[in-house]
Structure 1
Amino acid sequence: MQALFWNLVRSLGRGRLTRIDDSGAVQLVQMQLSQNETHDATPRVCEYGFQSNPPDGADAVAVFLAGNRTNGVVIACGHQQYRMRGLASGEVAISDNRGQSVYLSAAGIVVNGGGHPVTITNAPEITADSPLMHCTGNIACDGNIAAAGDILDNSGTNAQSMAASRRTYDIHTHDVSQVQGGQSTIRSNPPTPQE
């Protein structure tokens, strides 16, 4: 009975990660459980689709099969310094030690680039069923812009779309005064070609 008790006690361990090898099919970590107990090349398993390379000093929990301290696997880890705090019940976030995060908040999704670029790759189309974005900075585009609806510039002071401005331009004329041979004023033809 006493052997069973010790096997149960020895089947769990908590410590800190001191080195990580992320080059193989399975991530291998070095874990220090106490001053006298360090385990090297211990496999770390994660949920499918979620990968991370925790910084040194991350907290870790390991399971040792049948209490055998040479046969362990790390099943969870976190880092107290870089953990996002203050999440409400039901909220979810992924974050790193550089200030980058994707936060599924109760009010909506918040992506924080942490001062780094945000890149979307291999996405031939991005679809949104409501206004796609509100941009407070400049937008630079290397390609064409195709809009099924109107484009409105200087929207704070201008109520006329670019299409409406183009229609006005295409039909406008100019007075031609002091025409030789008479005193009357005539109008020019609309511009050619029309824009």
Structure 2
Amino acid sequence: MQASTIKAQVQRALSGIRQAFRGVLTRVNSAGSVQTLQGEGLAGETFQDAELYQHYGFTSNPPAGTQVIALPLNGMTSHSVIIATEHGGYRIKGLVTGEVAIYTDEGAKIVLKRGRIIDVDCDIYRIKCKTYEVNASNNADFNTPMLTASEQVTAKSKITGQGGMAISGGSGATVDGGIKATQDIVAGKVSVQGHIHDGDSGGTTSEPKQ
């Protein structure tokens, strides 16, 4: 049998087997252990309950309109699995070589950038853990108008209130080790440096000596 004849027979056999194809998903069911998709192929065919396979440790629920690559098992469209997804409308563009990003259609994102920089952009950043450690060799800057702790804040060195400090509520402030102030301290309306007392024999005492 000539090689051309064999090639023609192989091509005829392959033409009857559905190859991997592109499509657009219309609906996702994420309730099961493996997500299933519905959508349409670019050639007009439809796929129902196609399983979406993703890498271990990473999962997403792609929105409608996401492009997919479907692989028909045994060449049958009705038994397709989804091996890749992409949505050009939401993908973060302009990454340089080596950068990695996680993102959503709402614009929340985590970008691992060149220079060992990690950028996070979101509305609420929520962490649930037993212990949260930050080991910053230089600085840990919080650029926020308010920093709140539900229980206790402990500083093992100095606390500097460059814009002033205010303590309210609870039982006040307890200080072990004394307080050193470079300016006057006022308790209520009483000045530590400028207060006077009634004298033992009438009159008043002088202000405290510096």
> Which range, TM-score by smaller chain?
0.7 to 0.9
State the aligned residue count: 179
Aligned Cα root-mean-square deviation (Å): 3.0
Alpha-carbon distance between aligned partners in 1 of 2:193 and 2:81, rounded to the nearest angstrom: 81
Contact 2:196 2:207 in 1 (8 A): yes
Q: Secondary structure of the equivalent of 2:78? A: coil
Residue number among 11, 22, 28 corresponding to 2:30 in the alignment: 22
Alpha-carbon distance between aligned partners in 2 of 1:184 and 1:145, rounded to the nearest angstrom: 41
Contact 1:11 1:66 in 2 (8 A): no
1:6 aligns with 2:10: no
Match of 2:118 in 1: 109
Q: CA deviation at 1:153?
A: 1.1
Q: Which amino acid aligns with 2:48?
A: D
1:119 aligns with 2:140: no
Contact 1:151 1:163 in 2 (8 A): no
Alpha-carbon distance between aligned partners in 2 of 1:183 and 1:92, rounded to the nearest angstrom: 74
Q: Which amino acid aligns with 2:161?
A: D
Alignment of 1:66-85 (within 5 A): 66-85=74-93
Match of 1:187 in 2: 208
1:167 aligns with 2:188: no
1:33 aligns with 2:54: no
Q: Which amino acid aligns with 1:187?
A: P
In our comparison, the structure showing a higher alpha carbon Rg is: 2
TM-score (normalizing by structure 2): 0.73
Contact 2:48 2:78 in 1 (8 A): no
Contact 2:109 2:120 in 1 (8 A): yes
Q: Which amino acid aligns with 2:146?
A: N
Alpha-carbon distance between aligned partners in 1 of 2:119 and 2:80, rounded to the nearest angstrom: 37
Identity across aligned pairs (percent)? 27
Residue number among 125, 147, 151 corresponding to 2:159 in the alignment: 151
TM-score (normalizing by structure 1): 0.78
Where in structure 1 are there 5+ consecutive unaligned residues?
Answer: 189-195
Q: Which amino acid aligns with 2:124?
A: P
Q: CA deviation at 1:16?
A: 0.5
Alpha-carbon distance between aligned partners in 2 of 1:186 and 1:36, rounded to the nearest angstrom: 94
Q: Which amino acid aligns with 1:118?
A: Y
Q: Which amino acid aligns with 2:23?
A: G
Q: Which amino acid aligns with 2:92?
A: M
